[in-house]
Amino acid sequence: MDPLRAVHLGPRKKRPKQMGTSAASTLHDIRFQDLVLFILEKKMGSTRRAFLMDLARRKGFRVENELSDSVTHIVAENNSGTDVLEWLQEQNIKATSELELLDISWLIECMGAGKPVEMTGKHQLLVRGSSPSPIPVSEMKTPPLAVRKISQYACQRRTTLNNCNHIFTDAFEILAENYEFRENEGSCLAFMRAASVLKSLPFPVISMKDTEGIPCLGDKVKCVIEGIIEDGESSEVKAVLNDERYKSFKLFTSVFGVGLKTAEKWFRMGFRTLSTIKSDETLKFTRMQKAGFLYYEDLVSCVNRVEAEAVSVLVQEAVAHFLPDALVTMTGGFRRGKMIGHDVDFLITSPGAAEEEEQQLLHQVTNLWKQKELLLYCDHIESTFEKFKLPSRKVDALDHFQKCFLILKLPHQRVDTDRSSQHEGKGWKAIRVDLVMCPYERRAFALLGWTGSRQFERDLRRYATHERKMMLDNHALYDKTKANSPALPRRMFLEAESEEEIFAHLGLDYIEPQERNA
């Protein structure tokens, strides 16, 4: 018998029949029918084992709760092949050569790849006497995937919507939001960066060992990770979700036009519900907040991609009415491939428009929608853009292009013609829409700035400043290394016709929009 290939299940002790054991492994779709896994609890613990079993099942693997004749692979952690064989003997299971004994690293790589990977020597558990110099699995030099060089900058990581670490990133985002509500910028950024880097990993973190070599994971972050690995949840997150202040701020800021200062004011005044706020006659609301309350139910519900595409048609039709050659691009999360969002952003530019035509366009478009009774709310912000003004040093700075923040009436018939007559009620949905008008020669910078996630854009600007001695914002890229040259100041501004050219100026590999979900 080749002890490396492990064992077949022979006669064993009778065990009490467990109801629902087989059903547990079929709650998720099984994609790999030829593999039947059993994860050994020894030296792992029941909580961690349950965590790993659930992750593997979500990835399409069949994992048995109990060892049975159908099992093809036994996966263990911190055990040698000899340890596993001894455990099998204790269970009165006879060993033959039809079962694979594998280290947990194999399963981790499988889940990272989304499919079974080849079993190599580094994965197979060695049995004493099977090689001249047996190496315990715990001492094998198997570099984990996490050790691969991972940049501290989100703009050097490819982050798709395929997040393997939701259990951690969801927790981090709740904690970051709570720190933001408390105006603790440092802790907020720490958890935002941690969430960002874990989203980019092609494998799930299932042990603290997996976090070795990963940047942006400080002690506080690692404590949360460890708690989730051990208990399946974070006690800190549970405390936040039950905190009255957090719940109140979360509710208040869900209203369009309500920021942290207003939320703080209402909380200190003793308000805890929106109904009591709306009914209080002593409170004064801004025009934006009034619209936020008036269309609250629509605005608090997500915008789906079908609705976003319908709004896109609405915007393109209106813009083309005044500037036929204008380019209208949907930006934000929908350009990154998201299926839902809270609003829809558009960048508008025209290669042939005069400056006066650019300045008039957004006003003309909103006036047209007003005539058609599609405009529910409008806030115009006029352009303060200056051609040779240096880019902002602030990583979160807003741009100076002309823009307007809108609430549009989207008729149901524009979303689903066949079923529009079946809709009950008002026959339309209020949708938040942001329009940005930029000069054609600055379209690449604006498109880049309005596409990436918040963390991606922050890190792109940080990278430009700290690694390339440049200044980047939504308007321009400025090279400070040429500041002392005798050339004209405008030579310090680097031109770009596309996003690809901006990445090239920065010495970065190009990151596709759908990979900017940091």
What digits encode the pLDDT tens for the residues 389-420?
Answer: 878 777 666 788 999 999 999 999 999 755 54
Q: Is residue 77 within 8 Å of residue 43, measured between CB atoms?
A: yes
3-state secondary structure of 10: coil
User: Is residue 473 marked as binding?
Assistant: no
Decide if pLDDT at 517 tops 60: yes
Vertex 486: Cα angle to 480 and 490 (nearest 5): 55
Please name which of 383, 378, 359 lies closest in space to residue 446, comparing C-alpha atoms.
383
Annotated ligand binding at 243? The verdict is no
CB atoms within 10 A of CB 490: 9
Per-residue pLDDT, averaged over 285-290, amounts to 98
pLDDT score for 396: 63
| 434 labelled ligand-binding | yes
pLDDT at residue number 490? 52
Phi, psi torsion values for 314, nearest 5 degrees: -60, -45
Q: Please tell me the pTM assigned to this model.
A: 0.73
Active site residues: 343, 345, 434
What is the predicted pLDDT for the residue at 502? Answer: 97
Crossing angle for the helix pair 166-181 and 244-252, to the nearest 10 degrees = 90
pLDDT tens, residue by residue, 120-166: 877 888 765 443 333 333 333 333 444 458 999 999 999 999 999 99
